[in-house]
């Protein structure tokens, strides 16, 4: 499974961004997918996850109500819609996929990662 994230950038507090993740390879092996972020000096955090049924989703408390994860299987693409952005959302965002039967907000559950895309929220 290969993953390619894009869509990061610089935005002001309160602004919005949409991240995209192009998925290729043996996508049928994917059990769940997620967006994971890492801010400087902080551990990686799963901010949103989506189950293979494309219906079940989970969010970290820090982004609940502001971020939305979705998938478009016809385009083999996953998205993260980010609204009401805050300076503390500044991080490198990675898209990831899990093939081992795990779905949820644990970083260790995802064994395929794309390169990151930088999101910077200015105050």
Q: In 3D, which of 63, 60, 16, 44 has the Cα closest to residue 116?
A: 44
Residue 28, pLDDT > 80, answer no
Per-residue pLDDT of 85-106, as tens digits, reads 999 999 999 999 998 888 899 9
Residues 102-113 pLDDT 10s: 889 999 999 999
As a whole number of angstroms, the distance between CA 53 and CA 43 comes to: 29
List, for residues 39-78, the tens digit of each pLDDT value: 999 999 999 999 988 889 999 999 999 999 999 988 999 9
């Amino acid at each position: 499974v290969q993953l390619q994230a894009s869509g990061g950038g610089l935005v002001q507090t309160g602004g919005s961004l949409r991240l995209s993740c192009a998925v290729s390879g043996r996508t049928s092996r994917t059990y769940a997918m997620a967006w994971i972020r890492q801010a400087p000096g902080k551990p990686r955090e799963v901010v949103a996850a989506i189950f293979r049924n494309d219906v079940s989703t989970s969010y970290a408390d820090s982004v609940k109500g502001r971020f939305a994860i979705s998938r478009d299987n016809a385009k083999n693409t996953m998205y993260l819609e980010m609204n009401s952005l805050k300076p503390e959302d500044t991080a490198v965002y990675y898209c990831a996929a899990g093939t081992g039967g795990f779905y949820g907000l644990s970083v260790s559950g995802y064994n395929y990662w794309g390169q990151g895309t930088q999101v910077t929220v200015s105050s």
